[in-house]
Structure 1
Amino acid sequence: MAAEDAIAAPGRDRGERAKAGSPGKRRNKLDVFNAVLTHLSSSDSVALSSQFEDSLWAHFNRLPVSYAMDFTVERPEDALTHIQLLEAARDSANRPTFSVRVVQVPRVIDGNTPKYEQNANLEGLEFKNEEDTVHPRLMYEIVFSVDDKPKVLSQLTSVLGDLGLNIQEAHAYSTNDGLSLIVFAAIGWLDEEVDHLKQALNSKIGRIKEPEMKDAEQVPTSPHVKVPTDETSVWEINYNLLSFGDIVASGSSGNLYKGSYCSQEVAIKVLKVEGVNANALREFAHEVYIMRKIRHKNVVKFIGACTRPMLCIVTEFMSGGSIYDYLHKENDFFKMPALLQVAIDVSKGMNYLHQNNVIHRDLKTANILMDENNVVKVGDFGVARVKSQSGVMTAETGTYRYMAPEVIEHKIYDHKADVFSFGILLWELLTGKIPYDDMTPVQAAVGVVQKGLRPTIPKEINSKLVELIENCWQQDPSLRPDFSQILEDLHAITKEVNSEERKIKSPGKFFSFRRNRN
């Protein structure tokens, strides 16, 4: 869905919304919103108001496009149920919240063998269990609202299995505020009373809890680290539930695939077989630990990992691609307000990481990704580390064109190394150029250390933005600002740019902000 729709939809009048959702277009959130609103308008059970329309739109907009694509508009009341569940789940003491309803019941055809009456929500669902045709059982739709954390889906699956339920479908949708809406279709509950199933779920549901995190000092660092393979591991997911699509990126250590996990679009990072040695296992364990530790709207979300039959790390799929590809492969640019928003999103993610004692160590445009709504997130934690108490960490980690001089020189470094990289990244956003593109990476590294080399900042750039970039890439790390200060500076610059209502021009080109690819 386009970014404009995400912002402007609630304020449109009915005519404009109807036009936006007209036939012939690929269905999106706005189309589904319009259809649901139309169905609810014809119902006497819902009192519509402008406030209700806004809350309904906010509901669809907090969930991914896949939720709208899967939604059955002929059952608009499902949206009301989902809104209530998510609202109740705002209070952590209520989680998980859930609802249960019958979606399929047996009916008699000509007095003969009972058949299933299919609910529209489950069209196309096929049963291959012959026993069910002869001895039909009720089908239930069970919807949970839970914390959006790894392993919760498999924990809920286990709970339903313990109750004798046979799951026919499962769909998981993550909200943009840290919750998850998970929808199951299941058969196998022999008692026809829905209330009895609710009571049974209540008795089991307390087990859905997130284990305590280990202290940073307990992160494995031995070259002989053993990767946990225990089925109770909080992040281990079932490899058989992964579906692999196309390769979207490839590197020396492995490939990145677009895929799916329980109907959810994901990115699957697979370590190459020949690269799985003691060092690779250690790196894998570190990356999983780091990603398990962090959860922020501007950091790519960790979903889980596999240790068998191969090493995989599963994260949310970022359909917008990387900032690097946007700038250098699509040859696109940002208007200044959009550029500043990208910088703010990156800074929020990095500020969160630093507050949690995590140093990224490879901050660059290739590791800054955009989702379907153009929200920017920091990704790829393959070389990230929890800050060492001694300050001693591996030198020359990251990418030379973005690397801080103290890292190149094998000196003790801290989170200010990421600030240096951010300064280079911000310059790249402004110019659309690769840093030191007339040099090899090694030549650039030598120039940065020995000559204080930095990229040339165009004269047309806002003076406060120039000052911020220069502060970020100071040779002395102690002179560089923290990301909390960077955020303050960026907000002040944004306010100034907006108040002046003018566009800042890059050499020869204006920055422009693209619409979403969908």
Structure 2
Amino acid sequence: MDSEDVNSKLKGDGNKSSKDMIFRADKIDLKSLDAQLERHLSQVWSKNNTATKRPKEVWEIDLAKLDLRYVVANGAYGIVYRGTYDSQDVAVKVLDWGEDGVATSAEAAALRASFKQEVAVWHKLHHPNVTKFVGASMGTSNLKIPLQNPTNGAQDSLPSRACCVVVEFVPGGTLKQYLIRNRRKKLAYKIVVQIALDLSRGLSYLHSKKIVHRDVKTENMLLDGNQNLKIADFGVARVEALNPSDMTGETGTLGYMAPEVLDGKPYNRRCDVYSFGICLWEIYCCDMPYPDLSFADVTSAVVRQNLRPEIPRCCPSGLANIMKKCWDGNPDKRPEMEEVVRMLEALDTSKGGGMIPEDQPKGCFCFAPTRGP
């Protein structure tokens, strides 16, 4: 039987059933068949791999270039590390969606969707008062995580479904930490206004891009080595809805949340303006609003009794008026952030004033020993 006969037998004969076919093993080219099978399997694997591999996002980074060093902060859904990316100092927010059994699959999916939303917002932003976005990854299977309590110098790694976002490292810490350090001696008036201007300019930029931050607070603001402020943490930021009723829910932090947000009513970018007003008071006073009130007490008092932080008697009237306008109970009466920028720019800080007279390094005595409302 020649090779043609063998091939004919292998392909089958329409006049014979398979049980009637006879093969001579010494005439079958097994090496050739193995090569054909290998090519076939390779094509199938390649096809399946291509079908399942998602397209790379424009913001995705090369994890091989990312080196994590140590923990900077811990949050509800992840850890912030300091590290380097391609020789640049960066902060890395690593998010584990509780897929170890803590969160349901639906909750994990929702968190991952929020992550993509955060990244989609952040990678398009370019402003000196907004933290610079470097990149992100939807999977950290190749990301080596330093152990917090290493015993043998080993490294750990997160599940492949975890995510990370990489931004510029801002070395000065949070604005909240800076204000706490200055709680007793306070800040010079010109520094108060400069910090407020940085924050207002950053928020005005975000609003111009139709972005509502929704969690404006001093803890989410960072200071660089020259005391320039940069807005950070876009975990709850979102593109402003055309219909305000599409934006509801208590999103934000107690003490900074606008009445309409606390009350579960529709809101828009003016909720950020309210939060800015509270931040402005905090920057001036280096103190916390409503330190002794519970969530329920603050919610009820802010919404129904128009509770606001007490403005010290020494506060210049121009700055006090900006606070009051920003935290007006009626969102429609609050100014736009671009208008707030203009009002702050118009303030005269050349003669000092406020908590610290230019020639005296003393604190302010406007507050009684028990501060706040």
- TM-score by length of structure 1 reads 0.52
1:318 aligns with 2:144: no
Q: Which residues in structure 2 correspond to 1:49-448 (within 5 Å)?
A: 230=54, 232-274=56-98, 277-309=108-140, 310-328=162-180, 331=183, 333-391=186-244, 392-448=246-302
Q: CA deviation at 1:282?
A: 1.2
Following TM superposition, where does structure 1 have runs of at least 4 consecutive aligned residues deviating by more than 3 angstroms? 228-232, 329-333
Counterpart of 2:226, as a letter, is: N
* Counterpart pick for 2:303 among 449, 456, 460: 449
Q: Structure 1: give runs of 5+ residues left out of the alignment.
A: 1-227, 511-518
SS at match of 1:421: helix
1:492 aligns with 2:346: yes
Matched residue, 1:504: 354
Counterpart of 1:240, as a letter, is: A
SS at match of 1:293: coil
Q: Is the 8 A contact 2:248 2:267 kept in 1?
A: no
SS at match of 2:236: coil
Q: Is the 8 A contact 1:267 1:314 kept in 2?
A: yes
Counterpart of 2:208, as a letter, is: Q
SS at match of 1:484: helix
SS at match of 2:123: helix
What are the Cα deviations for residues 50-82 of structure 1, in whole angstroms up to 9, with x where unaligned? xxxxxxxxxxxxxxxxxxxxxxxxxxxxxxxxx
Q: Is the 8 A contact 1:460 1:506 kept in 2?
A: no
Distance 1:338 1:252 in 2: 32
Matched residue, 1:480: 334
SS at match of 1:366: helix
What are the Cα deviations for residues 388-409 of structure 1, in whole angstroms up to 9, with x where unaligned? 1111213100102100000111
Q: Is the 8 A contact 1:359 1:387 kept in 2?
A: yes
Distance 1:337 1:230 in 2: 51
Distance 1:367 1:486 in 2: 20
Q: CA deviation at 1:446?
A: 1.8
SS at match of 1:394: coil
Counterpart of 1:409, as a letter, is: D
Aligned length: 280
Q: Is the 8 A contact 2:186 2:355 kept in 1?
A: no
Counterpart of 1:374, as a letter, is: Q
- TM-score by length of structure 2 reads 0.72
Q: CA deviation at 1:230?
A: 4.1
Matched residue, 1:144: none
What are the Cα deviations for residues 294-352 of structure 1, in whole angstroms up to 9, with x where unaligned? 11111011110011123001001110111101112564642111110110011110000
Distance 2:187 2:227 in 1: 12
Counterpart of 1:288, as a letter, is: V
In structure 2, the CA distance between the partners of 1:353 and 1:382, relative to structure 1 (3 Å rule), is same
CA-based RMSD:
2.0
What are the Cα deviations for residues 181-201 of structure 1, in whole angstroms up to 9, with x where unaligned? xxxxxxxxxxxxxxxxxxxxx
Q: CA deviation at 1:242?
A: 1.1
Distance 2:76 2:242 in 1: 30
Q: CA deviation at 1:372?
A: 2.3
Q: CA deviation at 1:247?
A: 1.2
Distance 1:318 1:367 in 2: 12
Q: Is the 8 A contact 1:319 1:370 kept in 2?
A: yes
In structure 2, the CA distance between the partners of 1:373 and 1:506, relative to structure 1 (3 Å rule), is closer
SS at match of 2:346: helix
